[in-house]
Amino acid sequence: MARRSNRDRSEETRGKLLSAARALFVEKGYAETGTPEIVKSAEVTRGALYHHFSDKADLFRAVVIQEAHSVAEEIEKASIDQTDPIDALVTGAEAYFQAMRHPGRSRILLIDGPAVLGADALAAIDRETGGGTLYDGLAYAARRFGRDDLPLEELASLLSAAFDRAALAVSEGADPAVYAGAMRQMLLGLFR
C-alpha cells in the first residue's frame, strides 16, 4: 500500500475545510458560522485551518472563488458552440441562472459575498473566474452588429447586475425561462 504524500494530505485537509465551511455558510450564513464549528465539521484541527487560511474571511473567499469557478465552467460549457452572439449571450444567461440554482450558491455569491468581501473584491473575483466573458460577448456582438458606439464596460456592469438580480429570483423559484426571454429582448434591443 502506497503512502500518501504530504501534498495529498494537505489537499485533502483543505478540501475538507472548504466543504465543511461551504455547508455551514449556506446553512447559517457567514456571520453566524464560527471557526470552531468549521474545524469540528471538517474533522481537522484548528491549526490545520490556520495553516491553509489566515482567518474565516480568507476561508470564505476561497469558497467564493470555488463557487465562481463552478459557475464560469457551466456557462462556458453551455455557450461554447454558439456562433450567433445574441444566442451565445442568452445561452450563457440561461446557464448562469441554472448554475445559480445550485443550493446555497446565490447566498454565497450574491448575498454574503458582497457583504463580507466587498463589491470591489467580488468584482475582481468575477473577472478572474469568467466574468470577463460577458464583456467579451458584448464586444463580439457590438462588432458583429456594427455598434461600436456602445459603452461596453458600463453595459457589462449593468447587465451583470441584472443577471444577479434575476439569479436571486430564480433561486427563489422564479421561472428561469422568463428571465432568459427578458434578457434576449434586452440584447436584441441593444444590437438589432
**Domain contains 140:** yes
Contact call for residues 13 and 5 (beta carbons, < 8 A)? no
Cell of 5: 504524500
**Domain contains 186:** yes
**Domain contains 171:** yes
pTM: 0.89
**Domain contains 173:** yes
Domain carrying residue 137: 64-191
Q: Read off the pLDDT of residues 82-104 as tens digits, 9 standing for 90 and up.
A: 999 999 999 999 999 999 999 99
Contact call for residues 22 and 63 (beta carbons, < 8 A)? yes
Verify that 108 and 174 share a domain, yes or no.
Answer: yes
The Cα 139–Cα 31 span in angstroms is 39
Q: Which domain-ending residue is among 53, 72, 96?
A: 53
List, as own/partner pairs, every contact residues 36-42 make where C-beta atoms lie below 8 angstroms and the sequence separation is at least 24, other chains included: 42/13, 42/16, 42/17
Reference 21, options 48, 45, 40; nearest CA is 40
Verify that 117 and 140 share a domain, yes or no.
Answer: yes
Q: Read off the pLDDT of residues 57-66 as tens digits, 9 standing for 90 and up.
A: 999 999 999 9
Verify that 186 and 119 share a domain, yes or no.
Answer: yes
Verify that 31 and 124 share a domain, yes or no.
Answer: no
As a whole-number percent, the residues of the chain with pLDDT over 90 amount to 76
State the average pLDDT over residues 15-38: 97
Reference 126, options 87, 71, 181, 187; nearest CA is 71
Verify that 35 and 82 share a domain, yes or no.
Answer: no
Verify that 20 and 68 share a domain, yes or no.
Answer: no
Cell of 98: 441554472
**Domain contains 59:** no
CATH number at residue 131: 1.10.357
Q: Read off the pLDDT of residues 162-181 as tens digits, 9 standing for 90 and up.
A: 999 999 999 899 999 999 99
Verify that 80 and 126 share a domain, yes or no.
Answer: yes
- In this structure, which amino acid lies at residue 166? A
The Cα 73–Cα 47 span in angstroms is 32
State the average pLDDT over residues 138-164: 92
CATH number at residue 38: 1.10.10.60
How far from the centroid of its chain's Cα atoms is residue 135's Cα? 16
Per the structure, the count of domains in the chain is 2
pLDDT for position 5? 77
Verify that 124 and 48 share a domain, yes or no.
Answer: no
